[in-house]
Structures are given as structure tokens and as C-alpha cells.
Amino acid sequence: MIRNPILPGFNPDPSICRVGDEYFVATSTFEWYPGVQIHRSKDLVNWDLACRPLNRPAQLDMRGNPDSGGIWAPCLSYADDRFWLVYTDVKRLDGNFKDAHNYIVTAPSIDGPWSDPIYVCSHGFDPSLFHDDDGRKWFLVLQWNHVSNSVGGHPRHPAFDGILLQEWTETEGLVGEQKNVFSGSMHGLTEGPHLYKRGGWYYLTVAEGGTGYDHAVTMARSRSIGGPYDLHPNTHLITAKDAPDAALQRAGHGQIVETPDGQVYHTHLCSRPLPGRFSPLGRETAIQKCEWRDDDWLYLASGGLVPDVDVPGLADVRPRSPHKVERVFFGNELPEEFQWLRTPFPERLFSLTGSALRLFGRESIGSWYEQALVARRQEHLAYRAETSLTAFEPTTYQQAAGLTTYYNRHKFHLIAVSWNAQLGRCLTILSCAGDWPEGQLSFPAEPIAIGSDPIELAVEVAGARQQFFWRQKSTSNGRWSPFGPELDASVISDEGGRGEHASFTGAFIGMFAFDLTGQGKTADFTRFSYAPEGT
């Protein structure tokens, strides 16, 4: 069986393609760098990170992008002996505009080299590239309507102004007639288009209902690529919007893939919320077994619309068991699970010294420009993370380094080594529990003096509860001690603060340093571990 989600923790908007006997899934990374995660598998059960292809300034620079901006809904395909990756870089969220720029990169292998980007358009977001069997290529994208109060748009959600279709060539870009081919169902918020051709039909799947608890995969078809497109008899192919007790919620936005022997699957994003509907794991990737029926429409093989946790697979393969990941920073490459924020110049934020991960204190926690934060996804609802901070000597309260659970600039908790005029080198907690102005910085614990020795920091998260710990050989005899009160981990989630309509990523855990004096005070971390509950 396939156990969902197949890509746990912040892996939304899954675009899937098959090349030979290998499957590849590309997911959104938003403001986290490098851009786009691509995983690979041969059995649809166990997946490994293949690459993050947008990894240099010519391809992606997100400095100044807002929280939950950046890379939205990539589309991965394979044609003409190349991989094709289409992606959006969203520069603005608030207000009428999105400033969503769409690009294409290609590579002869999933491992690269990936080309410099070709700019396509800025009509809206969620672009897709369809390779027709006659060799022509078609570009699809949501048209965003910034004047929706006066013209056009969907009757329920006017800013969502339908799916545009236009031919695209490598030499000339967009050519020929541009058509608005699908305005969606009455469910509205139509986005995330993908085309699939079978038996003379063009099948269009889109995401609808927003990326919250009304999310859905909607399907339509046409004999002509330019439409008109008729809705599926059930309107939706996959949704949990009417199943509040389903294990996988917020199901929507995915793509069809066919196996070599003709079996059909459909990816989709989902979430596994805590009670109260808080999703610290963000939107994850799942996959469902489907079947074509006599009416030439696709349906879930299990019947109904609600996605399953356990799905029939291709072979007798067991999912890997959760395990502890221990990283010691003795090499010169950052372990693959870690990312940083926005900038294509990581050498300004950190280096691998051969014995430590050295962070250079830059701007404040939550900066949109240069923030020294190196972190990994939270993939389980209960876990423990630890790190060793072996060298950091602050001389002012404007310098700090430590361990953080982080969602965005307004949703984080952190335990930090800093400086206090009365105590000297000290341990403190900073917390922000919601979006501005509701969420403001707080200090849930009185600072304590810790001396100059190396220090180990830890956090335990169990559902909505979070507790920081510390130990220092010179003062604790090697024993871990809790520090500060139990904190609310549910705020480090999609729905925390302003909620699901403004937050699209997921919880991270990692190491940070900031230095508001501009001196770039360094902090050396020698290890980091992440252990799911029970490992």
C-alpha cells in the first residue's frame, strides 16, 4: 500500500510526471531557497529528494518577497528529451495586485544542469506547460483580475478571471490567439490548471475552493484544446470539503500520472490538522488511485470524492519507518533537508567551516532580505530537535543566536543566547504568536546567566504544545533542563495569525543568528538532530 502523505510536511501543489520507470514530483517552496523541491520514486511509496533546481541568482532572487510569496505551484514535465519546469515568482500578496512573474527552465537530466529562465508572462500564477502529441506546446495560467470590482472575473470570486491558454514556442514565446478557456465551476477560486490528453479528449484539472478546507480538484474536458470545457458529472474528482472528519483535509491541486501498465493516479495536496484546525505541517503531498470508467471520466478507484490515507500501490513495498536524523557539520556541504530564506547569496548568511555550520548574524528574525536562518521542515506532529551552539560571544542585546520553531516573521518561538547588561551572556526566549498588529514580540521567560561555555539547545513539540530545553556541562552536569513556559505550537501553522488565506508554507525548525549592529557576529553550530516521537 501507499501511505499518505507521500511527501510529509510543507510540500504543496504537487506536479507529477513519469520518465520511464521513474516518477518525479515538483512542489512549491514559496520564500525558501533554493526554489522548487523535486522528489523521485520508482514505486510511488518511498520518495527521495532529487534536486532543488532554482539555485542561483540568474534563476531566482526573492529578496524583498513577502512571507508566502515566491515560488508558487510549479509544473514539471518531460518532452523532447528534456525536463521542463514552469514556475511563478510572486512578488506581492496584499492589495489588488500579485506581480506574479512566470518562467520556464529546462534540463537534460533531473540532476541538471538547469538552464537560465525564459520569461513568459505575468498574467497571474499557477502556470502549466502542455506538450501536445502533434509537437505543439501550450501555456496555461490563471488570469488575475486586479479590477474585478468593475469587469470580468468569476461571479463568486471576481479576481479569479479564468484559465488562459496560448501556444508557446522556444523561439517566439507566446504566439497566436490567447483564449480564456475555463472559468471554473460555481465553487470558484479556480487555479492550478493541468491538461491531460486521452482518447481524443483534453482533460483539464484545476484547483478550486481556495487552499483551505473547501479545497477541491475539479475536472472538465473538451474535444478541442481551446474548449469549450464541460464539467465532470461530480464536478470534483477529489475533495474533503464535505467530510470534516476525514484524516486528509484541504485536498486539492494536483495532476494525473499514468504508469507503464496503464494504471492511473492523481496527486493532490492535503493537510493533517490538529484539533481546532491548525496545520503546522502545512500542505503536504498525497496521491490517489483512480480509474477511467465507461463514460470516459476519471474517478477515485475507491469511490466517492474523499481521499484515502492508504492507497493500492504498484508493488509489495513498505513505506520507510520514521527515524531520527542526526547531522554533524563536519563536511563542506549543507545537508539536503536544510534551506534558507529568499537570497541567492547564501555565503552572506552561512558557511561550512569543516567543523561547524557558521552563521553570520545579519538582519532580524523575520527579515524579508538577509536573515541568517538555516532550517528544515517539521514532518511530524510530535518530535524533538536539538542543536549544539559551540561558539557565540555576544556583547549587546542586539546580537542573538539559537534554535527556533519558525513559520514566518510574525509566527515563531525561539530560544537564544544573547547579552544582558546585568547578567552578561544569557539565555532568553523571544516569541511572536500572530500577524501584525495582533501578534507582537513577547519575552515569555526571564533571562538567565549562562557563562561562556558551549551550550546545547532543544525543543520538544507534541501537537499544540512546545517546550524549550537547554544544558551546559559547567552548570547542569549534563542534564537537560526546561527553560521558559510551555508555548503554543499551534500558532506555528497555516491557520495561526491571519490564517489560511495569507499563510501557505509550514513549520520549520532550525538555527539562526542576528546582529543588528551590522558587525556580522558569527555563531558556530556543530550538530543538529531531528527525532520524530518514538524514535
Distance, in Å, from the CA atom of 310 to the CA atom of 331, rounded to the nearest integer, reads 39
Amino acid found at 403: L
DSSP state of 307: P
Distance, in Å, from the CA atom of 523 to the CA atom of 343, rounded to the nearest integer, reads 19
Query: Is residue 217 a contact partner of residue 193, using CB atoms and an 8 Å limit?
Result: no
Q: What is the DSSP string of 127-157?
A: -EEEE-TTS-EEEEEEEE-TTTTTS-S-SSS
Q: Strand pairing partners for 428? A: 416
Quick check: helix, strand or coil at residue 490?
Answer: helix
Query: pLDDT tens, position by position, for the chain (535 residues)?
Result: 999 999 999 999 999 999 999 999 999 999 999 999 999 999 999 999 999 999 999 999 999 999 999 999 999 999 999 999 999 999 998 888 999 999 999 999 999 999 999 999 999 999 999 999 999 999 999 999 998 766 677 888 999 999 999 999 999 999 999 999 999 999 999 999 999 999 999 999 999 999 999 999 999 999 999 999 999 999 999 999 999 999 999 999 999 999 999 999 999 999 999 999 999 999 999 999 999 999 999 999 999 999 999 999 998 899 999 999 999 999 999 999 999 999 999 999 999 999 999 999 999 998 999 999 999 999 999 999 999 999 999 999 999 999 999 999 999 999 999 999 999 999 999 999 886 666 688 999 999 999 999 999 999 999 999 999 999 987 767 799 999 999 999 999 999 876 545 679 999 999 999 999 999 999 999 999 999 998 8
Short-list 310, 470, 285, 279, CA closest to 378: 279
- Tell me which residues are annotated as active site: 370
> Which long-range contacts (C-beta less than 8 Å, at least 24 apart) are formed by 347-352?
349/373, 349/374, 350/374
Secondary structure of the chain: what % helix, strand, coil (to 5)? 0, 50, 50
Work out whether the CA dihedral 502, 505, 509, 511 comes out positive or negative.
negative
Distance, in Å, from the CA atom of 38 to the CA atom of 105, rounded to the nearest integer, reads 14
Please compute, for residue 200, the number of CA atoms within 13 A of its CA located in the half-sphere on the CB side: 2
Domains and CATH numbers, the chain: 2-311 (2.115.10.20), 325-532 (2.60.120.200)
Query: Is residue 46 a contact partner of residue 320, using CB atoms and an 8 Å limit?
Result: yes
Query: Is residue 312 a contact partner of residue 289, using CB atoms and an 8 Å limit?
Result: yes
Short-list 136, 129, 132, 68, CA closest to 102: 129
Distance, in Å, from the CA atom of 285 to the CA atom of 274, rounded to the nearest integer, reads 17
Cis, peptide link before residue 307, omega less than 30° from 0: no
Number of H helices and E strands in the chain, helices first, is: 1, 39
Q: Please tell me the predicted confidence (pLDDT) of residue 110.
A: 98
Query: Is residue 384 a contact partner of residue 399, using CB atoms and an 8 Å limit?
Result: no
Distance, in Å, from the CA atom of 489 to the CA atom of 274, rounded to the nearest integer, reads 10
Distance, in Å, from the CA atom of 495 to the CA atom of 435, rounded to the nearest integer, reads 11
Q: Please tell me the predicted confidence (pLDDT) of residue 498.
A: 65
Amino acid found at 519: Q
Distance, in Å, from the CA atom of 84 to the CA atom of 19, rounded to the nearest integer, reads 12
Short-list 125, 81, 292, CA closest to 196: 292
Please compute, for residue 34, the number of CA atoms within 13 A of its CA located in the half-sphere on the CB side: 19
Distance, in Å, from the CA atom of 479 to the CA atom of 501, rounded to the nearest integer, reads 43
Phi, psi dihedrals of residue 267, rounded to the nearest 5°: -75, 160
Cis, peptide link before residue 233, omega less than 30° from 0: no
Distance, in Å, from the CA atom of 218 to the CA atom of 297, rounded to the nearest integer, reads 12
pTM: 0.97
Q: Please tell me the predicted confidence (pLDDT) of residue 34.
A: 98
Query: Is residue 103 a contact partner of residue 130, using CB atoms and an 8 Å limit?
Result: no
Amino acid found at 213: Y
| Residue 486, C-alpha cell as written in the block | 510551555
Amino acid found at 2: I
C-alpha torsion 460→461→464→468, nearest 10: 30
| Residue 54, C-alpha cell as written in the block | 532554482
| Residue 324, C-alpha cell as written in the block | 531520527
| Residue 473, C-alpha cell as written in the block | 556541562
Distance, in Å, from the CA atom of 402 to the CA atom of 229, rounded to the nearest integer, reads 54
DSSP state of 31: T
Distance, in Å, from the CA atom of 69 to the CA atom of 87, rounded to the nearest integer, reads 12
